[in-house]
Protein backbone atom coordinates (compact mmCIF):
# COMPACT_ATOMS: atom_id res chain seq x y z
CA UNK A 1 0.00 0.00 0.00
CA UNK A 2 2.70 2.46 1.06
CA UNK A 3 4.87 1.46 -1.90
CA UNK A 4 2.02 2.12 -4.35
CA UNK A 5 1.30 5.48 -2.71
CA UNK A 6 4.97 6.45 -2.81
CA UNK A 7 5.23 5.38 -6.45
CA UNK A 8 2.13 7.43 -7.32
CA UNK A 9 3.58 10.48 -5.58
CA UNK A 10 6.89 10.10 -7.43
CA UNK A 11 5.07 9.83 -10.74
CA UNK A 12 2.96 12.88 -9.88
CA UNK A 13 6.08 14.87 -9.04
CA UNK A 14 7.77 13.82 -12.29
CA UNK A 15 4.70 14.84 -14.31
CA UNK A 16 4.49 18.18 -12.50
CA UNK A 17 8.19 18.89 -13.09
CA UNK A 18 7.94 17.93 -16.76
CA UNK A 19 4.82 20.05 -17.28
CA UNK A 20 6.24 23.02 -15.35
CA UNK A 21 9.49 22.87 -17.31
CA UNK A 22 7.57 23.16 -20.59
CA UNK A 23 5.79 26.21 -19.22
CA UNK A 24 8.92 27.83 -17.77
CA UNK A 25 10.63 27.56 -21.16
CA UNK A 26 7.99 30.03 -22.31
CA UNK A 27 7.67 32.26 -19.25
CA UNK A 28 11.33 32.90 -18.37
CA UNK A 29 12.66 34.27 -21.69
CA UNK A 30 9.51 36.28 -22.35
CA UNK A 31 9.60 37.77 -18.83
CA UNK A 32 13.20 38.90 -19.41
CA UNK A 33 12.32 40.39 -22.80
CA UNK A 34 9.32 42.19 -21.29
CA UNK A 35 11.52 43.64 -18.55
CA UNK A 36 13.85 45.10 -21.18
CA UNK A 37 10.90 46.55 -23.12
CA UNK A 38 9.82 48.37 -19.96
CA UNK A 39 13.33 49.62 -19.26
CA UNK A 40 13.72 50.92 -22.82
CA UNK A 41 10.42 52.84 -22.75
CA UNK A 42 8.71 50.74 -25.41
CA UNK A 43 5.64 50.23 -23.21
CA UNK A 44 5.32 53.99 -22.67
CA UNK A 45 5.38 54.55 -26.43
CA UNK A 46 2.73 51.87 -26.91
CA UNK A 47 0.59 53.69 -24.36
CA UNK A 48 0.86 56.90 -26.38
CA UNK A 49 -0.16 55.06 -29.55
CA UNK A 50 -3.19 53.60 -27.76
CA UNK A 51 -4.41 57.05 -26.65
CA UNK A 52 -6.73 57.64 -29.66
CA UNK A 53 -8.01 54.06 -29.39
CA UNK A 54 -9.00 54.64 -25.76
CA UNK A 55 -11.11 57.60 -26.79
CA UNK A 56 -13.12 55.33 -29.11
CA UNK A 57 -14.36 53.39 -26.06
CA UNK A 58 -15.08 56.48 -23.96
CA UNK A 59 -11.79 56.65 -22.05
CA UNK A 60 -9.26 59.51 -21.84
CA UNK A 61 -6.10 59.07 -23.90
CA UNK A 62 -3.65 58.77 -20.97
CA UNK A 63 -5.43 55.56 -19.92
CA UNK A 64 -3.77 53.96 -22.93
CA UNK A 65 -0.62 53.57 -20.81
CA UNK A 66 -2.56 51.51 -18.26
CA UNK A 67 -3.84 49.06 -20.86
CA UNK A 68 -0.49 48.94 -22.65
CA UNK A 69 1.26 48.03 -19.40
CA UNK A 70 -1.31 45.34 -18.59
CA UNK A 71 -1.06 43.84 -22.08
CA UNK A 72 2.73 43.68 -22.07
CA UNK A 73 3.23 42.71 -18.39
CA UNK A 74 0.20 41.65 -16.33
CA UNK A 75 -2.81 43.00 -14.45
CA UNK A 76 -0.78 44.07 -11.45
CA UNK A 77 1.56 46.14 -13.60
CA UNK A 78 -1.48 47.87 -15.10
CA UNK A 79 -2.91 48.45 -11.63
CA UNK A 80 0.24 50.26 -10.48
CA UNK A 81 0.10 52.60 -13.48
CA UNK A 82 -3.65 53.12 -12.96
CA UNK A 83 -3.11 54.17 -9.35
CA UNK A 84 -0.53 56.75 -10.42
CA UNK A 85 -2.55 58.51 -13.15
CA UNK A 86 -6.24 57.83 -12.43
CA UNK A 87 -6.72 60.37 -9.59
CA UNK A 88 -6.09 63.24 -12.01
CA UNK A 89 -8.56 61.99 -14.64
CA UNK A 90 -11.82 62.03 -12.59
CA UNK A 91 -13.02 58.72 -14.02
CA UNK A 92 -16.56 57.42 -13.57
CA UNK A 93 -17.40 53.89 -12.43
CA UNK A 94 -18.57 53.15 -15.99
CA UNK A 95 -15.21 54.21 -17.44
CA UNK A 96 -13.24 52.16 -14.93
CA UNK A 97 -15.49 49.17 -15.64
CA UNK A 98 -14.79 49.50 -19.36
CA UNK A 99 -11.05 49.75 -18.72
CA UNK A 100 -10.82 46.88 -16.23
CA UNK A 101 -12.93 44.60 -18.43
CA UNK A 102 -10.63 45.29 -21.37
CA UNK A 103 -7.64 44.57 -19.14
CA UNK A 104 -9.19 41.24 -18.12
CA UNK A 105 -9.68 40.19 -21.74
CA UNK A 106 -6.24 41.32 -22.96
CA UNK A 107 -3.36 41.20 -20.47
CA UNK A 108 -0.04 39.37 -20.16
CA UNK A 109 -0.14 38.78 -23.91
CA UNK A 110 3.53 37.88 -24.57
CA UNK A 111 3.33 34.91 -22.20
CA UNK A 112 -0.29 33.90 -22.72
CA UNK A 113 -0.20 34.10 -26.53
CA UNK A 114 2.97 32.00 -26.57
CA UNK A 115 1.23 29.42 -24.37
CA UNK A 116 -1.72 29.41 -26.78
CA UNK A 117 0.70 28.99 -29.68
CA UNK A 118 2.48 26.13 -27.94
CA UNK A 119 -0.91 24.46 -27.45
CA UNK A 120 -1.47 24.49 -31.20
CA UNK A 121 -3.15 27.76 -32.21
CA UNK A 122 -1.80 30.53 -34.40
CA UNK A 123 -0.21 33.43 -32.51
CA UNK A 124 -1.69 36.05 -34.82
CA UNK A 125 -5.20 34.60 -34.69
CA UNK A 126 -5.27 34.57 -30.89
CA UNK A 127 -3.79 38.08 -30.70
CA UNK A 128 -6.60 39.37 -32.91
CA UNK A 129 -9.23 37.56 -30.83
CA UNK A 130 -7.83 38.87 -27.51
CA UNK A 131 -7.16 42.49 -28.50
CA UNK A 132 -10.09 42.80 -30.88
CA UNK A 133 -12.39 41.17 -28.34
CA UNK A 134 -11.26 43.59 -25.62
CA UNK A 135 -11.92 46.61 -27.84
CA UNK A 136 -15.30 45.31 -29.01
CA UNK A 137 -16.45 44.46 -25.50
CA UNK A 138 -15.18 47.81 -24.19
CA UNK A 139 -17.08 49.63 -26.90
CA UNK A 140 -20.29 47.70 -26.20
CA UNK A 141 -20.07 48.33 -22.46
CA UNK A 142 -19.38 52.03 -22.98
CA UNK A 143 -22.36 52.31 -25.33
CA UNK A 144 -24.61 50.45 -22.91
CA UNK A 145 -23.62 52.57 -19.91
CA UNK A 146 -24.01 55.79 -21.90
CA UNK A 147 -27.44 54.88 -23.26
CA UNK A 148 -28.78 53.76 -19.88
CA UNK A 149 -27.03 56.46 -17.86
CA UNK A 150 -25.80 53.89 -15.34
CA UNK A 151 -22.56 53.92 -13.31
CA UNK A 152 -21.90 57.58 -14.08
CA UNK A 153 -20.88 58.42 -10.51
CA UNK A 154 -17.26 59.20 -9.67
CA UNK A 155 -15.06 56.14 -9.20
CA UNK A 156 -13.41 55.40 -5.84
CA UNK A 157 -10.74 52.72 -5.96
CA UNK A 158 -10.43 50.44 -2.92
CA UNK A 159 -6.75 49.62 -3.48
CA UNK A 160 -3.57 51.65 -3.43
CA UNK A 161 -0.41 49.82 -4.50
CA UNK A 162 2.71 49.74 -2.37
CA UNK A 163 5.86 51.40 -3.66
CA UNK A 164 7.49 49.35 -6.41
CA UNK A 165 11.19 48.56 -6.16
CA UNK A 166 12.55 49.17 -9.70
CA UNK A 167 15.83 47.31 -9.20
CA UNK A 168 16.72 44.17 -11.13
CA UNK A 169 17.28 42.23 -7.91
CA UNK A 170 13.73 42.96 -6.74
CA UNK A 171 12.37 41.96 -10.14
CA UNK A 172 14.37 38.72 -10.10
CA UNK A 173 13.13 37.83 -6.62
CA UNK A 174 9.52 38.48 -7.66
CA UNK A 175 9.94 36.28 -10.75
CA UNK A 176 11.42 33.45 -8.70
CA UNK A 177 8.48 33.63 -6.30
CA UNK A 178 6.13 33.56 -9.29
CA UNK A 179 7.84 30.49 -10.76
CA UNK A 180 7.70 28.71 -7.41
CA UNK A 181 4.00 29.52 -7.07
CA UNK A 182 3.26 28.25 -10.57
CA UNK A 183 5.00 24.92 -9.88
CA UNK A 184 3.08 24.42 -6.63
CA UNK A 185 -0.21 25.27 -8.33
CA UNK A 186 0.51 22.86 -11.21
CA UNK A 187 1.45 20.11 -8.74
CA UNK A 188 -1.76 20.72 -6.78
CA UNK A 189 -3.84 20.83 -9.95
CA UNK A 190 -2.48 17.55 -11.24
CA UNK A 191 -3.11 15.89 -7.88
CA UNK A 192 -6.64 17.31 -7.80
CA UNK A 193 -7.39 16.11 -11.34
CA UNK A 194 -6.25 12.59 -10.48
CA UNK A 195 -8.44 12.58 -7.36
CA UNK A 196 -11.44 13.86 -9.33
CA UNK A 197 -10.89 11.16 -11.95
CA UNK A 198 -10.71 8.45 -9.28
CA UNK A 199 -13.92 9.68 -7.66
CA UNK A 200 -15.71 9.99 -11.00
CA UNK A 201 -16.31 13.70 -10.53
CA UNK A 202 -14.47 14.59 -13.75
CA UNK A 203 -16.90 12.46 -15.74
CA UNK A 204 -19.85 14.08 -13.97
CA UNK A 205 -18.56 17.59 -14.71
CA UNK A 206 -17.94 16.62 -18.32
CA UNK A 207 -21.48 15.29 -18.72
CA UNK A 208 -22.93 18.47 -17.19
CA UNK A 209 -20.85 20.70 -19.48
CA UNK A 210 -21.28 18.60 -22.61
CA UNK A 211 -24.42 20.40 -23.91
CA UNK A 212 -22.78 23.82 -23.47
CA UNK A 213 -19.52 22.70 -25.07
CA UNK A 214 -21.41 21.16 -27.97
CA UNK A 215 -23.20 24.46 -28.48
CA UNK A 216 -19.82 26.20 -28.57
CA UNK A 217 -18.45 23.69 -31.07
CA UNK A 218 -16.29 21.69 -28.64
CA UNK A 219 -16.23 18.00 -27.75
CA UNK A 220 -16.62 16.53 -24.28
CA UNK A 221 -12.88 15.85 -23.94
CA UNK A 222 -12.27 19.62 -23.81
CA UNK A 223 -14.24 20.06 -20.58
CA UNK A 224 -11.55 19.50 -17.89
CA UNK A 225 -8.87 21.67 -19.48
CA UNK A 226 -11.39 24.41 -20.30
CA UNK A 227 -12.53 24.53 -16.68
CA UNK A 228 -8.92 24.85 -15.52
CA UNK A 229 -8.21 27.73 -17.86
CA UNK A 230 -11.41 29.62 -17.09
CA UNK A 231 -11.04 29.33 -13.32
CA UNK A 232 -7.26 29.64 -12.89
CA UNK A 233 -5.99 31.35 -16.01
CA UNK A 234 -3.64 30.56 -18.87
CA UNK A 235 -0.43 31.27 -16.97
CA UNK A 236 -1.22 28.87 -14.12
CA UNK A 237 -3.05 26.24 -16.14
CA UNK A 238 -0.84 26.71 -19.20
CA UNK A 239 1.33 23.69 -18.60
CA UNK A 240 -1.69 21.41 -18.33
CA UNK A 241 -3.29 23.05 -21.34
CA UNK A 242 -0.20 22.41 -23.48
CA UNK A 243 0.10 18.83 -22.24
CA UNK A 244 -3.54 18.05 -22.97
CA UNK A 245 -3.51 19.76 -26.36
CA UNK A 246 -0.38 17.89 -27.47
CA UNK A 247 -1.63 14.54 -26.20
CA UNK A 248 -3.82 14.04 -29.25
CA UNK A 249 -6.95 13.57 -27.16
CA UNK A 250 -8.40 16.86 -28.40
CA UNK A 251 -9.22 17.70 -32.00
CA UNK A 252 -7.75 20.86 -33.49
CA UNK A 253 -11.18 22.48 -33.46
CA UNK A 254 -11.57 21.65 -29.78
CA UNK A 255 -8.15 23.11 -29.04
CA UNK A 256 -8.86 26.33 -30.93
CA UNK A 257 -12.30 26.95 -29.40
CA UNK A 258 -11.09 26.00 -25.93
CA UNK A 259 -8.05 28.30 -26.09
CA UNK A 260 -10.19 31.12 -27.52
CA UNK A 261 -12.70 30.78 -24.67
CA UNK A 262 -9.96 30.63 -22.04
CA UNK A 263 -8.21 33.62 -23.61
CA UNK A 264 -11.30 35.81 -23.50
CA UNK A 265 -12.53 34.60 -20.14
CA UNK A 266 -10.01 33.13 -17.70
CA UNK A 267 -9.29 33.41 -13.99
CA UNK A 268 -12.94 34.25 -13.43
CA UNK A 269 -12.69 34.58 -9.66
CA UNK A 270 -9.26 35.97 -8.73
CA UNK A 271 -8.78 38.44 -11.59
CA UNK A 272 -12.37 39.64 -11.38
CA UNK A 273 -12.02 40.46 -7.68
CA UNK A 274 -8.70 42.22 -8.32
CA UNK A 275 -10.28 44.46 -10.96
CA UNK A 276 -13.19 45.23 -8.66
CA UNK A 277 -10.65 46.69 -6.22
CA UNK A 278 -9.94 49.36 -8.82
CA UNK A 279 -13.64 50.15 -9.08
CA UNK A 280 -14.74 47.86 -11.91
CA UNK A 281 -18.42 46.92 -11.64
CA UNK A 282 -19.48 43.28 -11.65
CA UNK A 283 -21.86 43.96 -14.56
CA UNK A 284 -18.85 44.32 -16.84
CA UNK A 285 -15.88 42.55 -15.27
CA UNK A 286 -17.84 39.34 -14.63
CA UNK A 287 -21.21 39.12 -16.37
CA UNK A 288 -20.32 41.21 -19.40
CA UNK A 289 -17.07 39.32 -19.95
CA UNK A 290 -18.65 35.90 -19.42
CA UNK A 291 -21.64 36.45 -21.73
CA UNK A 292 -19.50 38.13 -24.39
CA UNK A 293 -16.93 35.30 -24.32
CA UNK A 294 -19.54 32.55 -24.65
CA UNK A 295 -21.25 34.39 -27.51
CA UNK A 296 -17.94 35.11 -29.25
CA UNK A 297 -16.80 31.48 -29.09
CA UNK A 298 -20.26 30.32 -30.25
CA UNK A 299 -19.87 32.51 -33.36
CA UNK A 300 -16.25 31.40 -33.82
CA UNK A 301 -17.38 27.78 -33.71
CA UNK A 302 -19.91 28.46 -36.45
CA UNK A 303 -17.25 30.27 -38.50
CA UNK A 304 -14.81 27.38 -38.15
CA UNK A 305 -17.41 24.91 -39.34
CA UNK A 306 -18.02 27.05 -42.43
CA UNK A 307 -14.31 27.44 -43.21
CA UNK A 308 -12.61 25.06 -45.62
CA UNK A 309 -10.29 22.70 -43.76
CA UNK A 310 -7.27 24.07 -45.63
CA UNK A 311 -8.03 27.65 -44.50
CA UNK A 312 -8.61 26.51 -40.91
CA UNK A 313 -5.26 24.68 -40.88
CA UNK A 314 -3.40 27.57 -42.49
CA UNK A 315 -4.69 30.57 -40.53
CA UNK A 316 -6.00 29.35 -37.17
CA UNK A 317 -4.05 26.31 -35.96
CA UNK A 318 -0.52 24.90 -36.12
CA UNK A 319 0.63 21.43 -36.98
CA UNK A 320 0.73 18.99 -34.08
CA UNK A 321 3.93 17.31 -32.91
CA UNK A 322 2.71 14.02 -34.37
CA UNK A 323 2.12 15.65 -37.75
CA UNK A 324 5.56 17.25 -37.76
CA UNK A 325 7.21 13.92 -36.87
CA UNK A 326 5.29 12.18 -39.64
CA UNK A 327 6.36 14.81 -42.16
CA UNK A 328 9.99 14.50 -41.03
CA UNK A 329 9.83 10.73 -41.45
CA UNK A 330 8.35 11.12 -44.93
CA UNK A 331 11.12 13.54 -45.87
CA UNK A 332 13.79 11.13 -44.59
CA UNK A 333 12.19 8.22 -46.46
CA UNK A 334 12.18 10.19 -49.67
Find, among 134, 129, 77, 108, the residue nearest to 261 by Cα. Answer: 129
Instruction: Read off the pLDDT band of 334 (50, 70, 90).
Output: low
Instruction: Read off the pLDDT band of 330 (50, 70, 90).
Output: low
Tens-place pLDDT, residues 7-45 = 878 888 888 888 778 778 878 888 888 888 888 888 899
pLDDT at position 327 is 52
Mean pLDDT of 87-107: 96
Count Cβ atoms below 10 Å from residue 53 Cβ, excluding itself.
Answer: 16
Cα(262)–Cα(320) distance, integer angstroms:
20
Domain ranges in the chain are 2-154+168-333
Tell me the percentage of the chain whose pLDDT exceeds 70: 92
Instruction: Read off the pLDDT band of 100 (50, 70, 90).
Output: very high
Better-predicted residue by pLDDT, 82 or 322: 82
Tens-place pLDDT, residues 43-56 = 899 999 999 999 99
Better-predicted residue by pLDDT, 189 or 118: 118
pLDDT at position 321 is 56
Count Cβ atoms below 10 Å from residue 288 Cβ, excluding itself.
Answer: 23
CB-based contact 316:255 (threshold 8 Å): no
Instruction: Read off the pLDDT band of 251 (50, 70, 90).
Output: confident
Is residue 228 predicted with pLDDT exceeding 80? Answer: no
pLDDT at position 323 is 59
Better-predicted residue by pLDDT, 150 or 214: 150
pLDDT at position 322 is 53
Q: Give the highest mean pLDDT range of 94-103, 166-175, 219-228, 259-268.
A: 94-103
Mean pLDDT of 64-71: 94
Is residue 326 predicted with pLDDT exceeding 60? Answer: no
Phi-psi label, residue 248: left if phi above 0, alpha if psi -120 to 50, beta otherwise: left
Q: What does the mean pLDDT of the chain come to? A: 85
pLDDT at position 184 is 84
Tens-place pLDDT, residues 270-303 = 889 889 989 999 999 999 999 999 999 999 999 9
Would you call 206 exposed, middle or buried from its count of C-beta atoms within 10 A (0-12, 13-18, 19+)? middle
Is residue 329 predicted with pLDDT exceeding 60? Answer: no
Tens-place pLDDT, residues 104-158 = 999 999 999 999 999 899 999 999 999 999 999 999 999 999 999 999 999 998 8
200's CB contacts (< 8 A; 6+ apart) are none
CB-based contact 217:297 (threshold 8 Å): yes
Cα(67)–Cα(75) distance, integer angstroms:
9
pLDDT at position 202 is 65
- DSSP for 81-136, please give it: HHHHHGGGT--BHHHHHHHHHHHHHS-SHHHHHHHHHHHTB-HHHHHHHHHHHHHH
Mean pLDDT of 176-182: 83
Q: pTM of the full predicted structure?
A: 0.84
Cα(222)–Cα(321) distance, integer angstroms:
19
Q: Considering Cα of 156, then 157, then 158, then 163, what sign does the dihedral take?
A: negative
Amino acid sequence: MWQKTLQALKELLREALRTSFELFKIIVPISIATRFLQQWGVVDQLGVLLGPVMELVGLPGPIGLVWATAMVTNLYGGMVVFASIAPELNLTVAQVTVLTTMMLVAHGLPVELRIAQKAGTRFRAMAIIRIGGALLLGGLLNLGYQLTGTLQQANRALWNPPAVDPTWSAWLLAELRNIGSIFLIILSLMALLKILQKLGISDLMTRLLEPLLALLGMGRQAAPVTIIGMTLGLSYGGGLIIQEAQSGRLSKRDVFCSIALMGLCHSLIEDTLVMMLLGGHISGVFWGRLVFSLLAVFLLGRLIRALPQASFERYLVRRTIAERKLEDEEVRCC
